[in-house]
Amino acid sequence: QVQLVESGGGLVQTGGSLRLSCVPSGRAFSTVAWFRQAPGDDREFVAAITWSGGSTYYADSVKGRFTISRDTAKSVVHLQMNSLKTEDTAVYSCAAKLGLFLTPKSADYNYWGQGTQVTVSS
């Protein structure tokens, strides 16, 4: 059974940090990404990473503040979020696909986790 399990969300003040984790299981994936969705907004791409080579791709809105990484030994993908802003408040979801192409399009990802809430207070 394919599963993507996220953890690490929570409440943090502006300027603070959080680290999200995503553990994919059930099959091997080539690319893992993070998306987020705030109430009333469309789902937004955050960052993606290839499992084998570790190539990364970021949305402009998080570049320089967020870092996506993977630990192949532990089969986990992390999203380190620093200098958080109130506009980063959203449900963050992990997504995965089989191809190596780094894409920000949610329709390109076949598997999704349930999501974890991140709330940044001023």
pLDDT of residue 100: 84
pLDDT of residue 114: 96
pLDDT of residue 54: 87
- Distance CA(31)–CA(50), nearest Å, equals 4
> How do the residues of the chain divide into helix, strand and coil, expressed in percent and rounded to 5?
5, 50, 45
Here the tokens at position 86 are 């109130």
pLDDT of residue 99: 83
Distances (CA, A) of 28 to 18, 48, 49, 79, 102: 26, 16, 14, 19, 16
Average pLDDT per 10 consecutive residues for the chain, totaling 122 residues: 94 98 92 96 97 93 98 94 98 94 95 97 96
Dihedral of the CA atoms 8, 13, 17, 20 (nearest 10)? 20
